[in-house]
Structure 1
Amino acid sequence: MWSMVGLGYGTALGFAGVFGGLSGFLLVLVLGVVGLLAGRVVAGEIDVAGVWDSLGNRKRQAE
């Protein structure tokens, strides 16, 4: 299944690069990563509260 997802995403990036140039390629790449992260949050694979807490703890330790 993931190979098909990778193939589709790679094809979309290829078309974005050909027709949109570098800016189109980067836009599709960034939006794809954002979509991936959002999907993993919705599926429960990423704990947003845990990530947020760990980032807050790093800032406190640096002070």
Structure 2
Amino acid sequence: MLDLVAEFLLNVVLIGVFYWPGWLFLRVLTLGRYPPRGGGKHDPEFVAVFGVVLLVVILLLGNA
């Protein structure tokens, strides 16, 4: 049961919400090289984590 909840949180919340901000941030940071165009092979969890990092940085800079 716990595995089902963890998989739901990973797929829906992390990837569903933070993938696109992470995708944009990584495309700018890597000058368009990662994630590859056309849905090439990449790690969507890695991209989503960068979306979370971007959100945390924005929140921290907003409170400074």
TM-score bin (small chain) = 0.3 to 0.5
More helix by share: 1
TM-score (norm 1): 0.40
TM-score (norm 2): 0.39
Computing the radius of gyration from Cα coordinates, the structure with the larger value is 1
